[in-house]
Amino acid sequence: MLSSHKRSGFTLVELLVVIGIIAVLVAILLPTLNGARRQADRVKCLAALKEIGSAYMQYANEFKGAWPASRYTWNDAPPFPMGPLGVQITSASRDRRWHDYISKYLGPELNPIGTQNASWELQMWTNEIRNGNNLLWGCPTWNRIRWGTTDTPLYNGNLYNGYMMSRFVFAPNDIEGTSVPARNTNNGRFPKQNRYTRASERALIVESTHPFQMLVLKWNFQPEGPTPYPDRPRNENVGGANFYTLDFNRHSKKAIGTDPYTISMNTLFCDGHATTTSARETFRAMRFD
């Protein structure tokens, strides 16, 4: 009688062949999977920007056609209001920003009486807002890191939601002044929605590493200007009093080194549409120069 012989398992050579095939497939598919993930994150971000644009429209409907100031600061006169949880407010200083004003159309209202840093009041940085499903933190690619001029990462990006409202309401007719608020900025002002001319071309919200620090007077990076184009968005002085905070690398294939013409950041326009643009296109949409 012939006896049957059963194999107990794979040989070492067979296992190595299988592992090699899997490694080759991973190497082939990984760039495609990463590209699909970037595309999905970009689409999620665009959807959040469109919802933010809708919140601006709702704000205008409620406040006689006005849009929020990018930042509004004021001083209260005593007696100061009583805060939530029975906390007596003792400071006169108040500060609300564009995301505070539109927050109630996207979720709970943030910083309603302008105390900004109060832990007992919902703020942009409150854990349930920052790490929850809040559209003001709508870009899944935002890594919450800022960069200084010495390539030093500044890990206080948790205070910022990765978007910035354009300060240049009336560009190109007015240019940024040396004092704040200048007459063309919406810092402390609530301009009418219809003052934003060429709405389909004018940027309203852009991807940025700082919520309101875009103070560049002119495009001074190569190839248009004398200053070398930065490899990262900068949050500190670049060429004197200039700041460059557009997050031009956010949706690109490489983390640093994106040039002005790479389509790599999302922009919301004043007519409510959002699209992916280059840093140069976004800057022009802010300043029209």
pLDDT for 224: 63
Q: Which residue has the tokens 């809708």?
A: 54
Whether the pLDDT of residue 184 is over 60: the answer is no
Those residues whose C-beta lies under 8 Å from the C-beta of residue 6, and which sit 6 or more positions away, are none
pLDDT for 23: 82
Whether the pLDDT of residue 196 is over 70: the answer is yes
- The reported pTM is 0.82
pLDDT for 189: 77
Answer yes or no: are the C-beta atoms of 233 and 245 closer than 8 Å: yes
Parallel/antiparallel/unpaired status of strands 265-269 and 163-165? unpaired
Both tokens of 51, joined, read 């919802």
pLDDT for 26: 75
Q: Which residue has the higher pLDDT, 53 or 173?
A: 53
Q: Which residue has the higher pLDDT, 90 or 112?
A: 112
Whether the pLDDT of residue 273 is over 90: the answer is yes
Q: Is residue 259 part of a domain?
A: yes
Q: Is residue 179 part of a domain?
A: yes
pLDDT above 90 covers what percent of the chain? 30
Q: Is residue 106 part of a domain?
A: no
Q: Is residue 58 part of a domain?
A: yes
Answer yes or no: are the C-beta atoms of 266 and 277 closer than 8 Å: yes
Q: Is residue 79 part of a domain?
A: no
> pLDDT band at residue 219, thresholds of 50, 70 and 90?
low
Q: Is residue 101 part of a domain?
A: no
Q: How far is CA 18 from the centre of its chain?
A: 44
Q: Per-residue pLDDT averaged across 252-270, rounded?
A: 87
Q: How many domains does the chain have?
A: 1
pLDDT tens track for 157-170: 677 899 999 877 77
CA angle 64, 68, 71 (to 5 degrees): 150
Q: Is residue 84 part of a domain?
A: no
Q: Per-residue pLDDT averaged across 220-247, rounded?
A: 66
If you average pLDDT over every residue of the chain, what do you get?
Answer: 80
pLDDT tens track for 167-182: 777 777 655 443 344 4
Supply the range of the domain harboring residue 221: 38-65+136-287
Answer yes or no: are the C-beta atoms of 225 and 216 closer than 8 Å: no
